[in-house]
Amino acid sequence: MGRWEPGARERLVVAAVDLFTEQGYDATTVVQIAERAGVTKSTFFRHFPDKRELLVAGQETLSLLLTEGITEAPADATPLEAVAAGLERASTAMGTFNREFAPRLRAAIATSTELQQRDALKTVSLASAMTTALTARGVPDPTAALASELGVLAFKRAYAEWADGDRDGDDNFAQYALAALDELRAASASLE
């Protein structure tokens, strides 16, 4: 594949995850990732500042979609209803590629403490973005933070179940995310 062909960013992510799984994160170089993806080293650096950032390639888009959904939720929506709207909006970015790629991504993350830490930072960043969107709606900070954490937990649970689910079905990510949020809402009610 020529370096000018479309999809270089996605090919880089797939190549990196495969190499991380095959030989470990530390043993994988940027040059190897670029070669596997069929691009040059300079093309790699046009898309990513370093190999760590490959793991969070879609984080900005995901944060934006979550916050847009929260922001655009009806004015009378509860904090968790606004989070549900954010999860629904974010589900538009979760397609077949994400579902099929998820097990490989999990395997790569499991190989490296650094990747596990980067994944944890991604979670914190998503929660922070949702908290900011909720507080902008007038939700008190502690409530916004709690609703955001439940939203992130719902997203993570849904992603794992969706990725491992029946690929022949016509179910989409939103179904899983909203079901996970409902389960967490019920679980939190039982804490009192």
pLDDT for position 171? 72
In a domain, 90, yes or no: yes
Question: Do 113 and 65 belong together in one domain?
Answer: yes
Question: Do 12 and 74 belong together in one domain?
Answer: no
Summarised one tens digit per residue, pLDDT across range 88-126 is 999 988 887 788 888 888 888 888 888 888 888 889 999
3-state secondary structure 53-75: HHHHCCHHHHHHHHHHHHHHCCC
Question: Do 136 and 83 belong together in one domain?
Answer: yes
Alpha-helical (H) ranges within 111-165 are 113-136, 141-164
Summarised one tens digit per residue, pLDDT across range 28-77 is 999 999 999 999 999 999 999 988 888 777 778 889 999 999 999 999 99
Global pTM reads: 0.82
Share of the chain above pLDDT 70, in %: 94
Question: Do 50 and 63 belong together in one domain?
Answer: no
Question: Do 93 and 19 belong together in one domain?
Answer: no
Torsion of the alpha carbons at 48, 53, 56 and 58, rounded to the nearest 10? 0
In a domain, 35, yes or no: yes
Question: Do 17 and 81 belong together in one domain?
Answer: no
Whether 109 contacts 116, CB under 8 Å: yes
Instruction: State the total domains in the chain.
Output: 2
Sign of the CA dihedral with 118 first, then 122, 127, and 132 last: positive
In a domain, 1, yes or no: no
d(C-alpha 147, C-alpha 54), whole Å: 28
Share of the chain above pLDDT 90, in %: 52
Question: Do 33 and 17 belong together in one domain?
Answer: yes
Question: Do 69 and 16 belong together in one domain?
Answer: no
Question: Do 95 and 118 belong together in one domain?
Answer: yes
Range of the domain at 40: 8-54
When comparing pLDDT for 51 and 78, which is higher? 78
Question: Do 34 and 65 belong together in one domain?
Answer: no
Average pLDDT, whole number, for the chain? 88
CATH code at 78?
1.10.357.10
